[in-house]
Amino acid sequence: MNTVSISVNAAAPTAGMSFGRVVGAYLAEARAECIRYMRAPGFMLPITLFPSMFYLLFGIVMRGSEGADAARYLLVSYGVFGVMSPGLFGFGVSLAIERDGGLLTYKRALPMPPGAYLLGKMLMAMAAATVVIVLLLVMGVTLGHVTLSLAQVGMMLLMGALGVLPFCALGMLVGTLIKGQGAPGMLNLIYLPMSFLSGLWVPITMLPHVLQQMAPIYPSYHLDQLGLIALGLAEGSIWKHIGMLIAFAIVFFVIAARRLRRYG
C-alpha cells in the first residue's frame, strides 16, 4: 500500500467524528507524546541540564567584573541555545527513528486526525523549551542577581514557548531526509555551528566580519536578537525578527510536509 492510500484511509475515519471527539483525539495524542518524552531521562536531562550548567558556569560563576549585564546577556544566549534543542532533536531524531521503524506508517493507518502526531511533538517541544527558560530565569534571578520586570519575564517565556517552532520545523525537515541512525550526528552538525555563528557563545561583534554578515540566515540569530531587545540589551525592530522566524518556520514546514506526504 503506498503512502497516498494510507493517508486517505487514515483520514476517512475522522470524517464523521464530532468536533469534540476530534479535539479530544488531538489532545490525547499530545498528552501521550508529552508523557512519553517526560519519562525519557535520556532526552529530558541533556535538554534541561546543558544550558543550565553552561549558564551557571559562564553566566554566573565566571562572569568576573562584568556584573549583572553579563548575566542578562548570557541568560538570553543560553536560553536560545536551550530552546533550539527540543525542537531539533525532539522532532528530528524521533521522527527519523520512527519513520525507519514503521511507527509513522502505523499511525497513519489509525483512525486519528491527520497532524495529531506532529501536533503532539510540537507541544512536547514547546513544553520542554518553556521548562528550560524557567530554569534559567530562576538561576538568573536568584544566583545571578538579574533584575527583570514581569513584562520581560513574560517575553522570555514567550520566546521559549513560541521560539522553538522554527527549530521544530527544521528538525522535522531533517527527520524526513536522514535515516534514524544518522539523525543525531547530522543534527549536531547543524545545532552546534549554528549556535556559534549566531553569536550565542561569543558576542556577534567578536566574530569576523564575513560571519557577522551571514548571521541573519540562521533562525537562532533572530531569536537571540528578540531576547536581547526584550531585556533592553539591543536596539531594533522586534517585528523584523518575528517575521523572519515565521518565514523560517513556514518554509521548513512546507518542505518537510511535502516530503512526508511523498515518502512517508
* 59 within 8 A of 93, measured Cβ to Cβ: no
> What single-letter amino acid sits at 158?
L
**How do residues 119-141 score in pLDDT, each as one tens digit?**
888 888 998 999 999 999 999 99
What is the model's pLDDT at position 263? Answer: 62
Q: 30 phi and psi, to 5 degrees?
A: -65, -40
Spell out the domain ranges in the chain: 3-263
Contact 101, 20 (CB under 8 A): no
Residues 109 and 38: their CA atoms lie apart, in Å, by 26
What's the length of the chain?
264
pLDDT digits 0-9 by tens, 144-164: 888 899 999 999 999 999 999
C-alpha cell at 4: 497516498
Cβ neighbors of 192 (< 8 A, separation 6 or more) are none
Q: Which residues 6+ apart lie within 8 Å of 253 measured at CB?
A: 169, 172, 173
Distance CA 258, CA 166 (A): 17
Q: What is the pTM of this model?
A: 0.85
